[in-house]
Amino acid sequence: SYVLTQPPSVSVAPGKTARITCGGNNIGSKSVHWYQQKPGQAPVLVVYDDSARPSGTPERFSGSNSGNTATLTINRVEAGDEADYHCQVWERSSDHWVFGGGTKLPVL
């Protein structure tokens, strides 16, 4: 089965740039989606199809995907961005959806 690998935690200071990676075999050939989840809340979609933003997602959030790594980038990080971030793909060959293990983003 397809595996997505995320770092458990990425620390960032306010105003700086956070980069959260999602690794998978030839993930560049798939569409990657990213969710933000704050404690006790449901996940919220922040980026879909590698780099598209739903309405409501700040332009500070961007995504990229190439080779074996997809990346969620958050520019000018704010305290309100502190959350867990999950990447996700649809594995076409098995008709299964796969999530990464999630990355905690503490804003120091």
Partner 1 sequence: EVQLVESGGGLVQPGGSLRLSCAASGFTFSGYEMNWVRQAPGKGLEWVAYISTSGSISYHADSVKGRFTISRDNAKNSLSLQLSSLRAEDTAVYFCARGESSSGWFGYWGQGTLVSVSS
> Which residues make up the interface to partner 1 (CB under 8 A)?
1, 31, 33, 35, 37, 41-45, 48-49, 54, 86, 88-90, 95-102
Structure tokens at 75: 């520019």
Residue 57: strand, helix, or coil:
coil
b/e per residue 77-91 (b: at least 16 CB within 10 A):
beeebbbbbbbbbee
| Dihedrals phi, psi of 35, to nearest 5 degrees | -125, 145
| Residue number, 3 or 13, with CB nearest to partner 1 | 3
Neighbouring-strand partners of residue 89: 98
| Residue number, 25 or 41, with CB nearest to partner 1 | 41
Taking the complex as a whole, the smallest distance from the CB of residue 83 to partner 1 amounts, in Å, to 13
Taking the complex as a whole, the smallest distance from the CB of residue 81 to partner 1 amounts, in Å, to 19
| Residue number, 5 or 14, with CB nearest to partner 1 | 5
